[in-house]
């Protein structure tokens, strides 16, 4: 990967993490762990020349569709959109507040930029299937990306969708699993161990890739391949990530699954991210 691109992506990821921390600290609630673990995934999609979109026309009909099935991670998406300019920065600080378009979980009725409302885990893949079918029917060449959590794999609906997408050869559909090894109540291997995950998707007929979900090189390589190659089948990218990535005291600390940092913790976090005199 070119150094210049890598620097841009690294810089973006840093900004996104700062925004996530500030948003959640100001909101006083939310999900830092699963927002932070998918930052590189989203940054690569949006700023690594993967997703097809128009800055000046976010609902452009030919856009690639991105569905955040793990809706609780939405602060990361809001932060990305503020970097693009689709959301004014000051709006970020209204997250989870009364009358804000930035609801705690994605609400398309309040924020029409969203492809769909989400927050009840397990539903996004099916919605993506509908969009992929529509794309095929209309002979449009957009792709549909669905970001899911690893805990989300527990939901039966996911496997209804996996079976259907393979049978219908929805090769314009890509699932990205944020495999951070934790769900709400604890480590995946203690709550409901579904390993080996790759074999599950493969046995459902999907093209499966495994990558380091924090490596821009690996993400860009695999997403680029998925975008350019004409696979016959839908693809599942299992991205190995670290929950709470980027903040030392949040990494692999599942108490930050659904708890916002206090003001003091947020200031410490922002210092770690390189801000000299952070304010909340």
Partner 1 sequence: MREFKIGKPTRAAYGETLAEIGEKNKDIVVLDADLSKSTHTYIFAQKFPERFFNFGIAEANMVGAAAGLARCGKIPFCSSFACFMVNKAYEQIRISVAGSGLNVKFVASHGGISVGEDGFTQQSVEDIALMCTFPDFTVVAPADEVYTRWLIKEIAEREGPFYVRTQRPKAPIIYENKNRFEWGKYIKLETGEDVAIFSYGLTVSECLKAHNLLKEKGIKASVYDAPFIKPIDKETILDIAKKIGKIVIVEEHLKDGGLGSRITSFLSEHYPIPVKIIAIENTYAESGKPEELFDKYGLSYRKIYESVINFIKTNTL
Ligand X SMILES: Cc1ncc(C[n+]2csc(CCOP(=O)(O)OP(=O)(O)O)c2C)c(N)n1
Which DSSP helix (H) or strand (E) runs through 207? Answer: strand 207-212
121 contact, one of ligand X, Mg ion, partner 1, none, CB 5-8 Å limit per kind: ligand X
Place of tokens 């709470």: 244
d(CA 90, CA 104): 16
65, 145 in Cβ contact below 8 A? yes
Between vectors from CA 243 to CA 239 and to CA 248, what angle results, nearest 5°? 125
162: closest CA among 219, 232, 111, 233?
233
**Contacts with ligand X: how many residues (CB under 6 A)?**
22
CB of 181 to Mg ion, least distance (A): 7
| Residue 128: contacted member of partner 1, ligand X, Mg ion, none (CB under 5 to 8 Å, by partner type) | partner 1
Query: Three-state SS across 26-84?
Result: HHCCCCHHHHHCCHHHHHHHHHCCCCCCECCECCCCCCCEEEECCHHHHHHHHHHHHHH
Which listed residue (72, 143, 220, 240) binds ligand X by CB under 6 A?
72
Among 103, 126, 174, 180, contact with ligand X (rule: CB under 6 A) = 180
The region of 55-63, 69-77, 91-99, 125-133 touching ligand X under the rule CB under 6 A is 69-77
Our CB check for partner 1 shows the closer of 61 and 276 to be 61
31/220 with CB nearer ligand X = 31
- The one of Mg ion, ligand X, partner 1, none whose footprint includes residue 164, by CB under 5 to 8 A per kind, is partner 1
137 binds, among partner 1, Mg ion, ligand X, none (CB under 5 to 8 A by kind): partner 1
| Paired strand residues for 144 | 65, 173
- Chain residues binding ligand X by CB under 6 A are 31, 33-34, 37, 70, 72-73, 119-122, 149-152, 178, 180, 182-184, 243, 257
């Amino acid at each position: 990967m070119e150094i210049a691109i890598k620097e841009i992506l690294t810089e973006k990821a840093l900004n996104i993490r700062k925004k996530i921390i500030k948003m959640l600290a100001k909101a006083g609630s939310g999900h830092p762990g699963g927002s932070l673990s998918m930052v590189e995934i989203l940054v690569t999609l949006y700023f690594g020349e993967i997703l097809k979109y128009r800055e000046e026309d976010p609902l452009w009909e030919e856009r690639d569709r991105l569905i955040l099935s793990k809706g609780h991670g939405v602060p990361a998406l809001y932060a990305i959109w503020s970097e693009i300019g689709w959301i004014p920065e000051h709006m970020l600080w209204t997250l989870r507040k009364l009358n804000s378009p930035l609801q705690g979980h994605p609400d398309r009725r309040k924020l029409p930029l969203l492809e769909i409302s989400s927050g009840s885990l397990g539903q996004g893949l099916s919605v993506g299937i509908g969009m992929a079918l529509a794309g095929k029917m209309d002979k449009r060449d957009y792709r549909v990306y669905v970001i899911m959590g690893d805990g989300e794999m527990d939901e039966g609906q996911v496997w209804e969708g996996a079976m259907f997408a393979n049978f219908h050869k929805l090769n314009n559909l890509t699932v990205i699993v944020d495999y951070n090894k934790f769900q709400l109540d604890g480590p995946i291997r203690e709550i409901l161990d579904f390993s080996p995950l790759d074999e599950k998707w493969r046995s459902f007929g999907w093209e499966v890739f495994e990558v380091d979900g924090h490596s821009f090189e690996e993400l860009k390589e695999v997403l680029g391949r998925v975008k350019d190659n004409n696979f016959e089948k839908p693809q599942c990218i299992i991205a190995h990530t670290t929950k709470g990535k980027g903040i030392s005291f949040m990494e692999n600390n599942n108490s930050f699954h659904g708890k916002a940092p206090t003001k003091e913790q947020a200031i410490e976090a922002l210092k770690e991210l390189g801000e000299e005199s952070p304010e909340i």
